[in-house]
Structure 1
């Protein structure tokens, strides 16, 4: 399968290596482009980063609410969130972290572009993100 329209990538900036085996969850806020921070969220899919720290494809939820908002090739405009479960990653390395998880919230306008990439630059005590290509 080709990559999904939303992908992500985690680089461990302390080690200079990709962060493999990090559990990630993709959400969509209810309410479209006018969603608020306290709006309900729909789980669209889950994945774990591969050996290169990437999620190219999500294990999509099969319930009708999620599939009406997302497919292998299309997305709807709205407010999305990726949650990265970072605590287990650092515990596996025998390290502590200040951030047990990182949530990145982003907006997909109407009409959506064909692809959105969300890189996460991560260390034990800091992180940053940007819209990738």
Structure 2
């Protein structure tokens, strides 16, 4: 069985740069919502460690909460209408590395399962 973990990467597509300094909360939603980790993205738009490392992995439903509005406001940019972007993901044991990229601007975002 492949070890499973979860990482993320945030890119500011409005400015063409990694989203350095974005606050992220990572929550396990089952059986009751519980905060697992808080992190801030580094100069590459990544967290310094996995939000869910292999040794702590449990299958289930999780949420990544990205403070997009705070990120743009801290840079003196128009925060648009996005505040917190919430991505709800289901993780399965043995499915390997989950990577959740977030590509964003103050007005839109997209995501996918990366590698």
The two structures share one fold, judged by TM-score above 0.5: yes
What is the alpha-carbon distance in structure 2 between the residues aligned to residue 72 and residue 117 of structure 1?
Answer: 13
2:91 to 101, 108, 121: 108
SS of 1:99's equivalent in the other structure is coil
SS of 1:5's equivalent in the other structure is strand
Measured against aligned partners, the alpha-carbon deviations of 1:87-108 in whole angstroms (never above 9, x if no partner) come to 1211122112211110111101
Measured against aligned partners, the alpha-carbon deviations of 1:57-103 in whole angstroms (never above 9, x if no partner) come to 158xxxxxxxxxx6663411100110001112111221122111101
Runs of 4+ in 1 over 6 A off after TM superposition: none
> Is 1:129 aligned to residue 106 of structure 2?
no
| C-alpha displacement of 1:56 | 4.1
What is the alpha-carbon distance in structure 2 between the residues aligned to residue 43 and residue 30 of structure 1?
Answer: 11
1:98 to 81, 86, 94: 81
- 1:52 equivalent in structure 2: 44
| TM-score, length-scaled by structure 1 | 0.75
| TM-score, length-scaled by structure 2 | 0.86
From the superposition, tell whether residues 71 and 124 of structure 1 become closer, same or farther in structure 2 (CA, over 3 Å). closer
Which has the higher Rg, Structure 1 or Structure 2? 1
Aligned length: 111
